[in-house]
Amino acid sequence: MRPERQRVEQWELNARSVPYDKVCVRDLILPVRIGIWSEEQGVTQRVRFTVELSVAPGGHRPGDLSSVVSYDDIIGGIKDSIADGHVLLTETIAERIAEHCLSHRRAVEVRVVVEKLDRIPGAALGCEIVRSKGRGER
CA distances from 41 to 44, 64, 79, 111 (A): 8, 45, 19, 28
pLDDT of residue 136: 47
Q: What is the pLDDT of residue 68?
A: 80
For each of the chain's 138 residues, which pLDDT tens digit applies? 565 555 555 555 555 566 788 999 999 999 999 999 999 999 999 999 999 999 988 766 677 777 788 899 999 999 999 999 999 999 999 999 999 999 998 899 999 999 999 999 999 999 999 999 975 454
pLDDT score at 20: 83
Give the model's pLDDT for residue 9.
56
Class of domain 20-137: alpha beta
Separation CA 94–CA 54 (nearest Å): 16
* pLDDT for res 18: 66
pTM score, whole prediction: 0.82
State the pLDDT at residue 58. 72
The pLDDT assigned to 17 comes to 61
- Cα-based torsion angle of the residue sequence 34, 37, 40, 45 in order, rounded to the nearest 10 degrees: -50
Position 103 scores a pLDDT of 93
pLDDT of 106 reads: 87
pLDDT at 134: 72
